[in-house]
Structure 1
Amino acid sequence: MAAVLPLVGAVGVGSAAYAHHAFAAEFDANAPVLLKGKVVTVEWVNPHTWIHINVPNTDAKGKAAQGTTFNWAVEGGTPNTLLRTGINKSSLPVGTEIVVRGYQSKDALCETHPKTKVKTCKANGRDVTFPNGCKLFVGSSGTGAPRDGSDASEGGQASKCAAGAA
């Protein structure tokens, strides 16, 4: 019995690690999003960072609807992954206008916070473009997200771009 427990533990840990990186379980590769908004906060935590941005609701022509804003919680890679691409905790100060390219959550629902009444939508971030045009990969390598060359591990140039550099 004692010999079986370590094996069961190893199998359980392996399954949890695989499930943690299952992009396809939570996000829709056929539902890309392009979000332009201002950074509200950044959660620099494991296992994934979260970039919260306020995005104005727009009509079909791209014109902002008066007073309607959505908060998007964008899942990024681990802090260590982002550090390797040039992003650190201070690279995304509150108020910075960024463009995020990524994939919407499969549920495609934007939940309304009961107290603040702010609608929050969720996406997996692929890359972030800063006001100076600098684009950096913010996703997790090996998650199953579509490959497009922006991940430094895919041969992209993200690691050569300094966050916030003019």
Structure 2
Amino acid sequence: MKLGVLALGLALSALAVPVSAHHSWTAEYDAKKPIKVSGTVSKVEWTNPHTHFYVDVTDASGKVTTWNFEMASTPALERGGWSRKTLPVGTQVTVEGFAGRNVVERAIVTAFRGPDGKEFFVPKLGN
């Protein structure tokens, strides 16, 4: 009997880890803070669970601010036609999204355009 209870406890605890690992994007980003920036890609992190890319944005006074943008997983991006080579460092981009709740220069991507104005597919993250 004790062995059965122990096995059940282990099985239930193993299920809890994957469930708690996923989070809503609204926990980190604020849908009431839409942003749109244009700048130069300075870094790309093609990783799971979410891909990040960084854009250097220069304001009117010449000050450069680096934004950290989060997108979906690499498999989701690949299904939408992206690859590691889609976004090389130095590319001019325009990005729209929602700013971070705690870090203003961090955002989740909702729209993405390349230097020619072409809009790229942006997979939706879970809500």
Alignment equivalent of 2:54, drawn from 49, 52, 55: 52
Tell me, which stretches of 5 or more residues in structure 1 are unaligned? Answer: 58-63, 110-120, 145-166
CA displacement, residues 10-51 of structure 1 (integer Å, 9 cap, x when unaligned) = 12321223x2xx111000001011010001011101111111
Q: Give how far 1:133 is off.
A: 1.9
User: Could you tell me the TM-score, scaled by structure 1's length?
Assistant: 0.68
CA contact (8 A) 2:38 2:95 kept: yes
SS, match of residue 29 in structure 1: strand
RMSD across aligned positions (CA): 1.4
Bigger Rg, structure 1 or 2:
2
Equivalent residue for 1:77?
A: 72
Give me the whole-angstrom Cα distance separating, in 2, the residues matched to 1:139 and 1:71: 23
Tell me, which stretches of 5 or more residues in structure 2 are unaligned? Answer: 1-5
SS, match of residue 7 in structure 2: coil
Q: 2:117 aligned with 1:133, yes or no?
A: yes
Query: What percentage of residue pairs aligned between the two structures are identical?
Result: 32
SS, match of residue 72 in structure 1: strand
**Higher relative contact order, chain-length normalized (CA < 8 Å, sep 6+):** 2
CA contact (8 A) 1:75 1:139 kept: no
Aligned AA (2:87): L
CA contact (8 A) 2:80 2:123 kept: no
Equivalent residue for 1:103?
A: 98
